[in-house]
Amino acid sequence: MAQQHLEPPTDSPAGPVSGDALAGYLRAQATEFLRSLRQHRETGPEAGAAARAKPRTEARTDARDVSANVSRNVSRDLSRTGEHGSGGYGPGESVDAARALRRSARRISGTLHTFRPMLDTDWSEGMRPELAWLSGTLAREHAYAARLERLLGALNRLSGAAGFPAQTAGNTGAPAKGSLTVGAAKAGALLDRQLTLARTRAHSAALQALGSSRFHAVADSVAVLASEVPLTPAATTADLRPLAAAATDRLTDAVAALPLVTAGHPYNAEALVHGLSADTAPQPQDAPWHQVRLLLRLHRYACEVLYGEDAPIDVRLLRAGQALNRHRDAAEAAAAAASAARTPRIAPATAYALGVLHADQRHEVEAARFAFQQNWQKEAVRTP
């Protein structure tokens, strides 16, 4: 199969892109990081009054103090939502702020990786893993909740049931379909217990992280980044385009290594290979696809640095990224079903339902690979 190359936007910069564009992008993402923290901070009456009374310029001057106060209020607000909710973030602004925080952390970390020759080496190498830790810690709780919703929805679809005991009280259900429907209720209850416990632990880990000195250090570093980007002396005159092109080359090389010919055939059952393996490790065939997803994200961040927020959107890459997100979600859901099926002393009907659920999610993995292959082979279509 011929290798698909990424074409640059038609309105790409004709001349070199200097380190000033990189500094501006990092400052903007750092500002967004701090703004998302302030959204949590403003939920507290005392902190909110202090934030409204403080001039904007003064808030920039003592950004380090703001980041420390913000992190304490984030931990407190999450504790309140955990007391009155189901162990997760509160509705509305708290959820939006958490997502914005993870979004900006990912972009800062990815940009530091792609353009690391333009930045102070010691600072960037120390900052990247801390941002990855923060983003991963905050994302884990939401991931468990989404995984449970996905798996229970799949069990409903496969068995024809209207709901599970954990979801619907007094539910009479749909007409039985043999052992699958009988086992589906027990399988759903088992998944609900396991994933809710995992979500609760992830929530506790997020609370501990947001109240830790490690988080304070990250917030302090981002606050400094909002005003001062540690560029190398040569970055002001250097061109960022070769580094962005290198990120694109890494993406195209990784995609070329994927089995796209096989993925292009629907119902090829490649994703079900080793489905009955006793090995509890993640399926190795998924790793290259996960790597492409990360490289595609780095490519997108590099384009944001070069072309700014007004850059055209590549619809082909957007849909390919969505397919890879579905691939990741389905693969993790299948792993959760397989893990639940290994629970000792479960009923045969429950194990059977979990096995059908695992196969269903691996078919979803296959469908996501097919969708990615179809989108990747299309010609680039961009919206102005």
Write the pLDDT tens digit of every residue in 327-363.
999 999 999 999 999 999 999 999 999 999 999 999 9
375, pLDDT greater than 70: yes
Write the pLDDT tens digit of every residue in 190-234.
999 999 999 999 999 998 998 899 999 999 999 999 999 999 998
Query: CA dist 198 to 132, 160, 195, Å?
Result: 20, 27, 5
pTM, full prediction: 0.80
- pLDDT of res. 309: 73
- pLDDT of res. 272: 76
Annotate 313-338 with DSSP letters as a single string.
EEHHHHHHHHHHHHHHHHHHHHHHHH
Mean pLDDT score of the chain: 80
Write the pLDDT tens digit of every residue in 308-330.
877 778 899 999 999 999 999 99
**Mean pLDDT of all residues in 274-294:** 82
91, pLDDT greater than 80: no
Alpha carbon distance 231, 333 (integer Å): 42
177, pLDDT greater than 70: no
Chain centre to alpha carbon of residue 69:
26
- pLDDT of res. 161: 55
